[in-house]
Amino acid sequence: MTKNDFIFDKTEESPGFLLWQVTNLWQREIKKALEKYDLTHSQFVLLASLLWLSKENESVTQITLSFHTKIDPMTTSTVLRTLQKKGLIKRQEHLTDTRAKTVKLTTDGQKIAILAVKTVEELDGIFFQ
């Protein structure tokens, strides 16, 4: 292996490596912050996105959530199933498209989502300061 194998002289000069490190540090902090709500990061992202999208649309589908969060449809479905078991969301067939499922926050889901968003936004403010 020679020095010419890398574009950068030091790992600290590599934007991709720095992004990797910062992302891991941030995700570790998010994971700790969400423990008190018994949520994983993926569960939080879907709940928060559902809260956001519900303010703009009456009907939010699983595929809309998948596109919005950039979480693949199968993973979205799996995570939503877990949130449904926790009583935080309700899923039902779409009124006009039987292939689609609409997703709604339950009262508990909305409360948890609002609290978790506040916690994560506070953490983001400190972390990215």
Annotation: CATH topology of 12-127: Arc Repressor Mutant, subunit A (1.10.10)
* Residues whose CB is less than 8 angstroms from the CB of residue 87 and which lie 6 or more positions away in sequence, other chains included: 106, 108, 109
**Per-residue model confidence as pLDDT tens digits over 16-29:** 999 999 999 999 99
Q: What is the pLDDT of residues 35-78, one digit of tens each?
A: 999 999 999 999 999 999 999 887 899 999 999 999 999 999 99
Question: Is the separation of the CB atoms in 45 and 69 below 8 Å?
Answer: yes
Q: Give me the percent of the chain exceeding a pLDDT of 70.
A: 98
- On whether the pTM is more than 0.95, the answer is no
Q: If residue 93 lies in a helix (H) or strand (E), which one and from where to where?
A: strand 89-93
CA separation for the pair 45, 30 (Å, rounded): 11
For residue 127 the two structure tokens come to 């972390």
CB contact at 8 A, 71 and 46:
yes
CA dist 118 and 36 (Å) reads 13
Give CA–CA dist 50/36, Å, rounded.
20
